[in-house]
Amino acid sequence: MKKIMTLAAMALCTITLCLTSCSKDDNGDKELSTEKFIEEQTKILNIISGEYKALIHASGKNGGLFAYSNLTIDKNGQVVCKDFPYEALAFGISELDNNEEAIRLRSALKAAPTASLSFRLLGDPKTKNPADFYALPIIKTTIKNDYGTYNIIGHMKTDVLRAHYDAKTSSLTMTFIINKLSRVIERQGHSEYKDQTKFTHPVEFEISTLEKKK
């Protein structure tokens, strides 16, 4: 009799745990309404706004680099990344390509000055996670060297920058891939865009916040 009561008690506990677990799963899978999503994302933007020391990692088939940058984020999601290393775009050109066009473009990109990169983080309810963002930065640099003036625009794979805020580490990570370059050429009052065919390898960028200054 005692054994039967014990088994019955175990069965009851199992059923209770199962119901509790299912209840938690149902709540976890519940999608946020548009209003709630915006509310939660606004809270996150308020949390991450400030000035940071950030680390930029650029990598491609032909090399990679690490660079530190000062980064600011306002409560509207506007990001300014100072000292962005545009020179890393040179990693998209093979070091084995000794064609004159490749040599000139590679030389120009290696001489690209660091400059600010600005964009705005936007929320996308389709991700179902208010800690996920996207942005549409314009990757553009102007380089002047012995070969002339290069106005370069980088085109992103999938056309967007992806960002995620990790509440556990209080860090924001932003990634994007440049898989195409164009050179802007001014001719008689209008602009022409010429694809740089010597840029044959994608270059991936990751920007991560390290510490919040204020």
State the pLDDT confidence band at 121, using cuts at 50, 70 and 90: very high
CA 48/CA 6 separation, integer angstroms = 53
Query: Would you state the structure tokens that stand for residue 151, as one six-digit string?
Result: 């106005």
pTM above 0.85, yes or no: no
Cβ neighbours of 101 (radius 10 Å): 12
At 19 the pLDDT is 34
At 187 the pLDDT is 81
HSE-CB for 154 with a 13 A CA cutoff: 32
Q: List phi, psi (to 5°) of 61.
A: -65, -30
CA 44/CA 84 separation, integer angstroms = 25
Cβ neighbours of 171 (radius 10 Å): 17
Inform me whether the pLDDT recorded for 59 exceeds 90.
yes
CA 173/CA 138 separation, integer angstroms = 18
CA 198/CA 156 separation, integer angstroms = 17
At 144 the pLDDT is 84
Instruction: Give residue 170's region: left, alpha or beta (phi > 0; psi -120 to 50).
Output: left
Could you tell me what percent of the chain has a pLDDT over 70? 86
**In the chain, where the domains are located:** 35-212
CA 155/CA 177 separation, integer angstroms = 8
Which residues lie across from 180 on neighbouring strands?
A: 155
Helices (H) and strands (E) in the chain, counts: 3, 12
Residue 120 in contact with residue 138, Cβ under 8 Å?
A: no
* Mean pLDDT along residues 4-10: 40
State the pLDDT confidence band at 30, using cuts at 50, 70 and 90: low
